[in-house]
């Protein structure tokens, strides 16, 4: 009997060590580096630019000093960093590069963004002859310790606000800004779930795993299958009709479509499981709303 107890205690201690080790590993793996952006001035209202009428990619216009050219960055709150694409910036004199790091200043509206540590990813195309010059991604680091308004209804964004917009002053509720990820809690089918708001998944309402997708989709719904590019990966998305609502604070947001994707890396699936998230909310579910994020107080509002 004593031997069995000793074995059980040894196994329990081993299990605790494995769980603790896994927690530390994933905690470190998904903790972003220190925010390297210097951000000055309120932006004013900046028009949102969509890559297509399907609104599958959300772009923000930007410009450099002494350059009349308008460039664009994809707005992706799923990315913890603002990055440039190596093949798209090679002819831009205002960007100084050193291996995988860039130094520059640019403007989005009236907001000036500066760093000598912008990351460079080996992506993109030479934009010299492109009418729409997309040269990088602006990530959730633009939101950190700042107030931001994303007005999908009126198609504009306002960065680095100095105060809470009047319409949200009495309508704020808590959200988590964890490891530079926007995590929102909501009720779905009567159960509280956690969702990542990812503006990089513009074309989708809710991206989730296959099990949740099968539980939410309408039985008779036609399945729409499409392939898309996400960074350097080709993803296959399966989208079906859904007839649910997600209640976020006092707001009921209609959920008309649900999607699951094949092709994500094991690390991305692990991050979702590790963080306890049910799925990712894309821009599409909020196209009739205005969103406000105060990442100084972890308060948000929906209108």
The pLDDT, as a whole number, for residue 161 is: 98
Helix (H) or strand (E) holding 101: strand 101-108
Least confident of 28-32, 96-100, 166-170: 28-32
The pLDDT, as a whole number, for residue 31 is: 86
Domains of the chain: 38-142 (2.40.70.10), 164-302 (2.40.70.10)
DSSP calls for 240-278: EEEEEEEEETTEEEEEEEEEEEE---HHHHHHHHHHT--
The pLDDT, as a whole number, for residue 53 is: 85
The pLDDT, as a whole number, for residue 276 is: 72
Does residue 254 carry a pLDDT above 90?
A: yes
Contact between 253 and 285 under an 8 Å Cβ cutoff? The reply is yes
The pLDDT, as a whole number, for residue 275 is: 61
pLDDT tens digits, 76-105: 999 999 999 999 999 899 999 998 899 999
Q: What is the mean pLDDT of residues 169-179?
A: 94
Q: What is the mean pLDDT of residues 244-265?
A: 91
pLDDT tens digits, 120-130: 999 877 776 77
Give residues with Cβ within 8 angstroms of 168, minimum separation 6: 292, 301, 303
Label residues 154-173 b or e (16+ Cβ within 10 Å = b).
eebbbbbbeebeeebeebbe
Least confident of 4-8, 172-176, 200-204, 219-223: 4-8
Does residue 207 carry a pLDDT above 80?
A: yes
CA distances from 231 to 217, 264, 265 (A): 28, 11, 12
The pLDDT, as a whole number, for residue 126 is: 75
Q: What is the mean pLDDT of residues 71-79?
A: 96
- Can you tell me the distance from the alpha carbon of 259 to that of 117, in angstroms, rounded to the nearest whole number? 36
- Can you tell me the distance from the alpha carbon of 283 to that of 290, in angstroms, rounded to the nearest whole number? 11
Does residue 148 carry a pLDDT above 90?
A: yes
Confidence of residue 11 (pLDDT cuts 50, 70, 90): very low
For the chain, give the mean pLDDT: 86
pLDDT tens digits, 32-65: 999 999 999 999 999 999 998 888 899 999 999 9
């Amino acid at each position: 009997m004593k031997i069995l107890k000793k074995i059980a205690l040894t196994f329990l201690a081993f299990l605790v060590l494995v769980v603790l080790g896994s927690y530390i590993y994933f905690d470190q793996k998904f903790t972003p580096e220190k925010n390297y952006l210097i951000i000055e001035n309120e932006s004013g209202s900046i028009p949102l630019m969509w890559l297509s009428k399907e609104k599958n990619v959300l772009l923000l216009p930007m410009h450099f000093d002494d350059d009349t050219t308008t460039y664009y960055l994809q707005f992706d709150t799923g990315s913890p960093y603002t990055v440039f694409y190596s093949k798209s910036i090679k002819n831009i004199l205002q960007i100084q590069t050193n291996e995988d790091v860039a130094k520059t200043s640019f403007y989005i509206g009236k907001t000036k963004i500066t760093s000598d540590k912008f990351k460079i990813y080996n992506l993109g195309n030479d934009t010299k002859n492109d009418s729409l010059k997309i040269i990088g991604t602006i990530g959730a680091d633009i939101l950190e310790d700042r107030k931001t308004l994303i007005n999908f209804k009126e198609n504009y964004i306002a960065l680095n606000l100095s105060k809470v917009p009047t319409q949200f002053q009495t309508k704020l509720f808590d959200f988590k800004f964890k490891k530079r990820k926007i995590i929102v809690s909501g009720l779905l089918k009567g159960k509280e779930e956690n969702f990542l708001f990812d503006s990089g998944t513009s074309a989708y309402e809710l991206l989730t795993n296959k099990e949740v997708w099968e539980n939410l989709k309408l039985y008779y719904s036609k399945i729409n299958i499409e392939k898309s590019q996400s960074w350097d990966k080709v993803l296959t998305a399966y989208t079906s009709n859904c007839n649910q609502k997600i209640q976020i604070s006092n707001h009921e947001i209609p959920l008309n479509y649900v999607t699951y994707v094949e092709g994500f890396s094991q690390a991305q699936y692990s991050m979702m499981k590790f963080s306890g998230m049910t799925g990712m909310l894309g821009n599409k579910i909020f196209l009739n709303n205005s969103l406000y994020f105060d990442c100084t107080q972890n308060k948000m509002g929906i209108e």
